[in-house]
Chains A and B, each alone.
Chain A
């Protein structure tokens, strides 16, 4: 069974640009979660999508947004990039509401210069 996949592996952008990160969940999983892992800060929850709807968002500004497609894959968009957005962005999937176990992808390393 294929795991959670993310693309690209690495992304380099300049300040003010926009970044788009993609995630494909495990087959049969309907929930997708996005986390930011900045150096020394652990994992910070960004967004949760389930069945195509945004169910919850963390304490991040509106320039962090995303969506979930009918095939349950997801996209994270970060507008007006700032230097402090440099981090590893992790996507996780789960079977949906009622399940607590999350399966993580390898992440996208975003570097903002």
Chain B
């Protein structure tokens, strides 16, 4: 079975500053990786995904993530955040070629201050 650890439960940052949200996973087999965003009182929206190919993945809203197999990490980054990026961010992992049911991390609350 796979597991996901989001190392920070809350990340406060000022507007226009860069941000990194950390995600580490554990799996004995190849994985697919996802980042989702949840705005207040809404469902989850897919930000980006890594299935194969380039380890640097670009997503919506200016976010990107890098898959690092040796460190089993999939950290999410944005060079300059906006107030509107304030939300809960979830990292998720699925077993490649196997279960279609992802395992989610507990989430990181990104709080952008003016």
The interface residues of chain A lying within 8 Å CB-to-CB of B94 are: 100
A101 CA / B35 CA spacing, docked (Å) = 11
A36 CA / B41 CA spacing, docked (Å) = 14
User: Which of A4, A90, A99, A104 has a CB less than 8 Å from the CB of B100?
Assistant: A99
Interface: B104 (CB within 8 A)? yes
- Dominant SS among interface residues on chain A: loop
Q: Name the distance in Å between B19's Cβ and chain A's nearest Cβ.
A: 20
Determine, out of A14-22, A38-46, A68-76, A78-86, the stretch whose residues face the partner at the interface: A38-46
B43 and A33 form a contact (CB under 8 A): no
A1 CA / B45 CA spacing, docked (Å) = 15
Chain A contributes a number of interface residues (CB within 8 A of B) equal to 24
A97 CA / B41 CA spacing, docked (Å) = 29
User: Closest A-chain residue to B95, C-beta based?
Assistant: A100
User: Which of A41, A45, A103 has a CB less than 8 Å from the CB of B101?
Assistant: A45
Interface: A52 (CB within 8 A)? no
A33 and B42 form a contact (CB under 8 A): no
Interface: A25 (CB within 8 A)? no
A108 CA / B61 CA spacing, docked (Å) = 26
A101 and B49 form a contact (CB under 8 A): yes
A3 CA / B41 CA spacing, docked (Å) = 16
B105 and A42 form a contact (CB under 8 A): yes
A90 and B99 form a contact (CB under 8 A): no
A43 and B90 form a contact (CB under 8 A): yes
B44 and A90 form a contact (CB under 8 A): yes
Chain B residues in contact with chain A, CB under 8 A?
A: 32, 34, 36, 41-46, 49, 51, 90, 94, 99-102, 104-107
Given A33-B101, A48-B100: 10 more A-B contacts, CB < 8 Å: A4-B43, A40-B106, A41-B106, A42-B104, A45-B101, A90-B44, A100-B100, A101-B49, A104-B43, A107-B42
